[in-house]
Every structure is written in C-alpha cells, then in structure tokens.
Structure 1
C-alpha cells in the first residue's frame, strides 16, 4: 500500500497539472523545471487559486519561478518557498535588481524633476534596477526615483527592530506584506528580509524556523520575537513590543505584559515561545 506524505499547501510546488521536477515523480502530474520571472507591479497578491484568496503579497522586483502559465494566470514559487497564483501580465522575464526602496515609500517620476508626473508609487522593500545615475535621481525602468530613497542591495539593513518601527502606523491587512498594509507575520518578514535574513511568510513557520528558543523567564532584548498561536510580535525594548494586530487594525506598540493579558482574556491564547535571532545589530 502506498501512503501519501502530508505536505504544506503553502510551500508545495505542485498543482493539479504540474509539479516542480525536484519533487520527484508525482502521479498524474507533468514535471517542470520552471522559468525565472520578476514582478512588475508595486504590490501583487499571491493567491491560493486563480481569483482565489490572498495568501501573501509580492513586491516589485521580487523573483519567482513560474511553474505554469495558463489562462492568464501563472502558478509561481516565490523566493521564500511560497507558491500561488498571480496574473501573468504582472510578470516579466527575469531581471536583476540593484537597489531596494529604503524609505517608507517613494515615487517614480516621468522625468528627472520632482514636479514631473509621478508614474508609480513604490513601497518599502520594492526592488529596482538602476540604469543611470543623475544629480538627484536614479533612472530606472519604472521612472526617475530620488537617490535618497534607494539603497543598494549589497548594503542590507542590520537592525530588524528599526525596520519594524519604520512600519509604525501601517494599517493591518490580512496576508499583507507592504507599507500599504500588512499583518503580524508580514511585519516580521519585512524586518528580517530587509536585513538579508531568510524569513517564512506566516507566523507558524516563522516560529519553527527563526532563532533560538528563550526560557520563559529570560530577560528580553530588542529584536526578540514573541509568538502566540497565529500571532507574532517583535520587542523594541525589554518591555515593549511592536506588532501588526487586528485589535488596533494597525502596527502599534504595546507593553508585552498588556498584550499577554489582553490576548489571554480575549482570545484565550498564551505565549507559545520567545525566540532570539542571533548575529544582528539590534
């Protein structure tokens, strides 16, 4: 008797027709190697199915592997392993970005002039390829972007907590990953990714993959992660957490003791772990 091996739908690079060749033979599915591609829009929802529910979001310049292009939808695998569907017209051939947006947001302008029409708004973390350097702007395929708003990809940030704080006030959005809106795990992913640290997209996977467990009575420090079932926040000092939360419908600061009491009272949920990501400037 053959038994099926359970797999996580979010990370399983196969659908009803194709499977990534590296999975090995999958009954009834065509093995594919996939084609590299790059996102062309500032923010694109990664859906569970064509016209389905949002799982996560992908930003301009992010690389994906296209496993299938069918009826206007592409089944893709993102760099963090997540799979899902995006409109095919939001993808282009693989490009190599050189810079990321290093401010809360920026604009790409039609000309080397801040009074020229703005042609695209870009969120923090969007990736672009610089074509030319001018006095105050970089020329990119998207338009002219202020030089002060872009940061070379070879100069990652070093403080996840500082990046998390950059997102203070961003509205809560289930499955969101940008300064237009994000959820609890989206905030953590934005903070760590900006520091070139691999980070899964959802809180349960982050709890499994990130850092080392701390004892319940350990003294907390800036950058430590606090997990509940389905929720995560980051400490900005030993007593205060920043987190995207549905209670405030925004990214807010909250004393950890208050958050523990509120979540226990409202959701009957307790802290499941405290974790420390090592090797970073906090």
Structure 2
C-alpha cells in the first residue's frame, strides 16, 4: 500500500479549523470555505507560519489574497502564488483592484501633488496601487500622491527578470524577505519574475521544480539562467557572473559563478543541483 505524501505546509490551504473547498474529500472535520477576497494595505507585511509565528515570506501593498479564516486578530490567507499563512487582520481591506505598480527601487506617497509636501508613506518596488486621478507630475492614489515617473501600469509588465534582479543590487539580505527593504535568494528570483508577469513560487526548492528546463552541466550559460544549490538560487547576468541575495555578504551581490561554486562547496559542502533556463525571457 502506497503511503500518501505529506502535504506541503506552505501550500496546503487548511489549518486546524478550516479548509478551502477544493480540499473536499481530502480533509475531514474541518469547515470548508470558499475564501473572501482581500487586499494588503501596508507597504510590506510578513506572511507568518502561525499567529505570532516566524516569517515565511512577505506580501506587498496591493497584493491580493483570499481570507480563509479571520480569528483573534489574525487572518489565515491563501496567496496568489499558492502560499498560505497568517497576517494581522488589520492589514487587510476589502478587495481593491490595482492599476499600477511601483516601478522604481522605492517611492514616496505625498500629502499633496507637490514634492515639498509631507511624505506620508514609503513604498518598495513592486507595491501595487490604484490610481484615482492624474495631475501634472503626480498620480493620486488612496495612499497619497505618487510621482508619475515612479509608477508603471500593470498592463505594461517588465520584460527582463535579470534587469529587475540588478535593480535590487545592494539590498540587504533578509530571510523570507520579498522587497527592496530586504530579501533572500528566492525572494530576489520571485520579485524579478513577478515584475515580468511570470509565475514563480516563493522558495528555492519549489522554484527549482517549477521554473524552466534543466540545462546540461556543460551548457553555455546566458543572462537570466538560474543556478540552484540545495536551499539557494542565483540568476546569471552574463555567461560567467551571477547576482544573488546571500548570507555571506548579507546583501544582493554579484559574484563570478566559479567563485560561488567553490565558496559554497568549501563552506557548506554543497554542489550545484541544477542549471535551468526559463524560455521566453527578454535578456
């Protein structure tokens, strides 16, 4: 008799009380729910493994989720990339349909359409907002007035994940981070692909299983190729150089691939597990 595989906690839309209706017949004794659409209201919010638990990933302003349970100030949510986890309920609002994303490293929302007016909020790259009105140099949003040059319509995604990865050069390393305030190796890859409207899981092991096609060990590498180790990933910016968020430098840095292979082999006794190419990229 074959034993059923243990569900991946990160992707299993159920807790001890509720389950998404798609799990009917797979779970018993839980309340089946459809989920309620909601939108994140803060620039960056940790997605937790449990109420007051540790950070799994992060969600940015304007991210859409489905709330499966709202209990004791915490919401159990199902995210657009399949992840589940807990966020403070006061960081959610009824579903808002965004129109633009922050397309620069960061930006500010101002109290008025005047660069000398007080700044009321700082937003990271990738945060999503709904434009309400257009002024000469600013867009009006529910968060405030944002410089027009800093926003990009959602129907105009970026085309080069490697270029987006390079935008994050120097960002400090943060385990589970997903923003220009701090991110980890898989967060860098996810942010880069999501900006190009390309689906991407949040963690390196899932990315290795889902993204692109495996390359032979002796294949010539090109810009945008992904290099995986156990628990780590980087992206090539040319045939010999990789950009990656790494704990060695505690930042997003460039590193010759040959140096990274030797360093990781020496320090962590880990070898490259795959080289993968995501087709259809603009490089």
Task: Please confirm whether the aligned pair reaches a TM-score higher than 0.5, indicating the same fold.
Answer: yes
Q: Give the Å deviation of 1:247.
A: 0.1
User: What is the match of residue 78 of structure 2?
Assistant: 77
Partner SS, residue 111 of structure 1: coil
CA distance in 2, matches of 1:205, 1:76: 19
Superposed CA offset, 1:188-210 (max 9, x none): 00000000000000000000000
User: What is the match of residue 277 of structure 2?
Assistant: 276
User: What is the match of residue 31 of structure 1?
Assistant: 32
User: What is the match of residue 145 of structure 1?
Assistant: 146
User: What is the match of residue 15 of structure 1?
Assistant: 15
Q: Where in structure 2 are the equivalents of 1:40-55 lying within 5 Å? A: 40-55=41-56
User: What is the match of residue 251 of structure 1?
Assistant: 252
User: What is the match of residue 167 of structure 1?
Assistant: 168
CA distance in 2, matches of 1:120, 1:78: 24
Partner SS, residue 264 of structure 1: helix
Q: Give the Å deviation of 1:6.
A: 1.4
CA distance in 2, matches of 1:252, 1:99: 28
Superposed CA offset, 1:119-171 (max 9, x none): 11000000000000100000000000000000000000000000000000000
CA distance in 2, matches of 1:28, 1:254: 51
Q: Give the Å deviation of 1:3.
A: 5.8
Partner SS, residue 174 of structure 1: coil
CA distance in 1, matches of 2:240, 2:75: 44
Structure 1 length normalisation: TM-score?
0.99
User: What is the match of residue 184 of structure 2?
Assistant: 183
CA distance in 2, matches of 1:5, 1:203: 20
User: What is the match of residue 112 of structure 2?
Assistant: 111
Decide whether aligned partners of structure 1 residues 27 and 192 sit closer, same or farther in structure 2, where only a CA change above 3 A counts.
same
Aligned residues: 282
User: What is the match of residue 234 of structure 1?
Assistant: 235
Q: Give the Å deviation of 1:2.
A: 11
User: What is the match of residue 201 of structure 2?
Assistant: 200
Moved over 6 A (4+): none
Gaps of 5+ in 2: none
CA distance in 1, matches of 2:4, 2:192: 36
Partner SS, residue 237 of structure 2: strand
User: What is the match of residue 135 of structure 1?
Assistant: 136
Partner SS, residue 267 of structure 2: helix
CA distance in 2, matches of 1:96, 1:212: 34
Decide whether aligned partners of structure 1 residues 280 and 72 sit closer, same or farther in structure 2, where only a CA change above 3 A counts.
same
Q: Give the Å deviation of 1:23.
A: 1.1
Partner SS, residue 191 of structure 1: helix
CA distance in 2, matches of 1:54, 1:46: 6
Structure 2 length normalisation: TM-score?
0.98
CA distance in 2, matches of 1:175, 1:263: 20
